[in-house]
Chains A and B, each alone.
Chain A
């Protein structure tokens, strides 16, 4: 299975500041370096299901604010919240869909400092 490791496990950021979440895969998530990587990002607030934010490493879903940026390639990926808002307090998960079974990272909890 593809193992996804997120770090940090939690972070506290001041409102308006940048939050950076990392996701490292045990194996490459693309066929070549020129192809998009098969990685998605989700947001989960307490008591709620996961909400899809980004697919193909960096493609934002409709309605997702532009402050959410996905980047990376190969085995290393990043979700950046450029200016943290109160409603961004949540746990964020990465998910690979390059190989079966699809797998998730362990999550990163984002809080307001």
Chain B
């Protein structure tokens, strides 16, 4: 089954404790992206990647890091989480052929930073 998986689905952590949210897709997609969803603000893009070893900042990259060492994986790293990073995070992917508009989304990771 074609899918985007994220782990963990739920995470409660404390300020300053480094964490990684994993994202993996099995569709051989070139394009992958991370978004955060906050009430009243919709989805905002954090980082995206056009292909292996190619990453770029989205609209709200501060406090986040990403890497794209393999085509299928695109982890999101919070080196020193802060309470304002409490949010619902989504990973998404799409093929170069279909374009960035037709994205497949993961189920989301709800992060709480206390």
User: Do A and B bind?
Assistant: no
Residues of B in contact with A (beta carbons under 8 Å apart): none
Residues of A in contact with B (beta carbons under 8 Å apart): none
